[in-house]
Structure 1
Amino acid sequence: MTSTNDAGEPLSISAELFDELYHYFKYASSAYSPVCLRPNGNALVLQFGNHLSDIQGFIARDDGRKEFVVALRGSASVTDALLDANILLVPFLTPGVKLPPHARVHAGFLAAWDTVALQITAALTAARRLHPGHRLVTVGHSMGGALATLAAVSLLQLFPASPMLDQTRTYSYGAPRVGNAVFAAHVNAEFGARAYRVVHTDDGVPTMIPTSLGYHHHGIEYWQHADPPAPSTTLRCTGGGGEDPCCSASVPSSGVTPAHATYLGITVPTPFCL
């Protein structure tokens, strides 16, 4: 994996990392499917959802990689749009989870996560009894990516890894900013390089909620700055603690552009469910 050159400028990623980002986006795209019996060709543990919040997704078990993958769908309804629009920054209030005192997150995303959190944690509790060596991975596109971040923060505390087990990882694609700088710093401290935030060219959703409202991106950004998708056109951006001025933040947000609907050559919502 490459990072930056001596001048601190982003460099392109390895073929292995590109394949990894591609692999997990297939879960994120599949989360839009009402039923996904074989997510990415693996076992379905739970298809979850909440009718009031219109949040849905699934938990898959990949025995080859020894992991459970929690995939959350992005916005697909008026209800989701209303949650997206609730941009008030609020304390992170989820049972069993404690963040730094001044950490704040998007009120709509938190409300959405809380409607499915108990389903997910109950299913993982039961599944991990049978497969205690499986690590946890969360994935999502658009609002689903924001929810995947909240899920990862929650699950890391609820299911702490043993010294011999890899920690929880999270992959978001085209996700908006989720919380304030304190929250972003917490995610960076807890996950480090295990938080993957992918942006496609001029997708404006990741920068739609401006930093002027107190928001701050977390994690290492992987910016596919040009098409077609390839390791050579995807940069690993580490500056600014999540707000690297050399990467997608350098492009003024145009909202939902065509780039938001396609990631790594896959058009949302292509299902990978067989």
Structure 2
Amino acid sequence: MILAWNQWDWDALVSRTRLIGFDLDNTLASSKRPMIPDMAQRFSALTRHIDVAVITGGRWELVTSQVVDMLEPQANRDHLHLMPTSGTRYYRWSQGQWRCVFSHELNADQRRRAMSSLERHAREQGLWRERIWGERIEDRGSQITFSVLGQAAPLQAKQSFDPDGALRRGLVEAVAADVPDLQVRAGGYTSVDVSQRGIDKGFAVHELSRLVGIDVPDMAFVGDRMTPEGNDYPAVQAGAMGVVVGNPGDTLLFLDEMLKRIGA
């Protein structure tokens, strides 16, 4: 089931939910920016009551700067499950530090073929722009990410670039034909991700279920891209309850309502 954050029956949602997962960019924080103090306070408070996951297409270093470094001292890190690069990696707090539980790395040949195909088809389709902000192709080890406008592009530019997803669909289809052994999918507003086949946010919630012992239908996932072509949708396809937000402001309001009831 997918509903907007303010359409849920709050008491029913709280009584059923045993783990809450969050997208990161435009859900917990603005793109590539740390959580604001109000979000960090509520997010930290949530970890004291329930298991909390962050599943994002971003690399581990961004999860660190946007989330981990902003946690309050009272946050229960033992309740946190951090899954960067679309769930290809999984980190838990253990013995006073974050440890990688698993990592589904691409090998050197897979990374080379993915990057070559992305560049070639982006140039052919007019998506190799002259003006970009930050890195264009990132090798994240377990995921190759191509960002048409660059990783650090302003949010407004990202949101207005390809609103119906048609440009990214064309690139996804062309690259997927070159690397049939890999999974190619649209990521954020301007990005295309390449990873091991079968690994997305649906894979991530199934792995959480297996490792933590919480059934997927007892998980809620909060994100801003819950349409069938959005990168948060696989979590709902896997069976999690989908909570749609439009921006971090919505997420703050959602957390306020949940904390009122979970805290009680």
Structure 1 and Structure 2 fold alike (TM over 0.5): no
Larger Rg: 2
Q: Comparing both structures, which one devotes a greater share of its residues to helix? A: 2
Q: Which protein, 1 or 2, shows the higher relative CO under an 8 Å CA cutoff with sep ≥ 6?
A: 2
| TM bin (shorter chain) | 0.3 to 0.5
TM-score by length of 1: 0.31
